[in-house]
Amino acid sequence: MRLTVDNHPAVLAAIAEECAALGFAMSCDRATGELLRALAAARPGGRVLELGTGAGASASWLLSGMDADATLLSVEQDAAVAAVAAKHLGGDPRVELVVGDGAELIDRLAGQAFDLVFADTWPGKFHHLDQALDLLAPGGTYLVDDLFPQPTWPADHGRSVVELRERLRADPRLHVAELDCSTGLLLAVRRP
């Protein structure tokens, strides 16, 4: 994945332009993207799972940190938004982009292991959480974003976020760190 002078993935500007045309405003920000790139780079040859491709902004950050032997499996339910990701990232042999339901993909992946799981949609975060955590390899990293109040949240969503934080902190399989940056991040590492 080529980087621009300001160290962004080269395709990010084109993805942002198409997102604006679609009215899609839920791409990850630079701070989250840089963290994703660093986490992917820490796993040479790693298996990465992204739940919620969106238009591919976060996937472009992940790919910019991955080495040639790493793989990314990413799922997005919205076909129009996923088409933007496919247009800009689909030619990369390290990535498999799936259009479909994230919960169904999580169920199909049972028994597999991933080094990094980025849960950026409801499946794997607010439901199918245990199944997503079961996909973490020992020492694997689980990252969620959007834990600070967002204008797109449903009225009662704040309670779901509190419950998610509490659930992750109580999980004996995990070491958890909340990061007071970006849109509100929580990083968990599966204990060996």
What DSSP string describes the chain?
--B-TTSSBTTHHHHHHHHHHHT------HHHHHHHHHHHHTSTT-EEEEE--TTSHHHHHHHHH--TT-EEEEEES-HHHHHHHHHHHTT-TTEEEEES-HHHHHHHTTT--EEEEEE-SSBTTTBSHHHHHHTEEEEEEEEE---S--TTS-TTHHHHHHHHHHHHHH-TTEEEEEE-STT-EEEEEE--
Confidence at residue 30, expressed as pLDDT on a 0 to 100 scale: 86
pLDDT values of the chain reduced to their tens digit, one per residue, 192 residues: 555 546 878 888 888 787 777 776 667 888 999 999 999 999 999 999 999 998 899 999 999 999 999 999 999 999 999 999 999 999 999 999 999 999 999 999 999 999 999 999 999 999 999 999 999 999 999 999 999 998 888 888 999 999 999 999 999 999 999 999 999 999 999 999
In this prediction the pTM is 0.93
Which pair of structure tokens corresponds to residue 39? 């986490």
Which residue in 52, 28, 27, 25 sits closest to 117, CA to CA?
52
23: left (phi over 0), alpha (psi -120 to 50) or beta: left
Phi and psi torsions of 122, nearest 5°? -65, -50
Phi, psi of 7 (to 5 degrees): 75, 15
Q: Which domains, ranges and CATH numbers included, belong to the chain?
A: 12-190 (3.40.50.150)
Nearest partner of 2 among 69, 44, 90, 61, judged by Cα = 61
Q: What residues contact residue 5 under an 8 Å CB cut-off, 6+ apart?
A: none
Q: Which residues of 45-77 are buried (b: 16+ CB within 10 A; e: fewer)?
A: ebbbbbbbbbbbbbbbbbbbbbeeebbbbbbbb
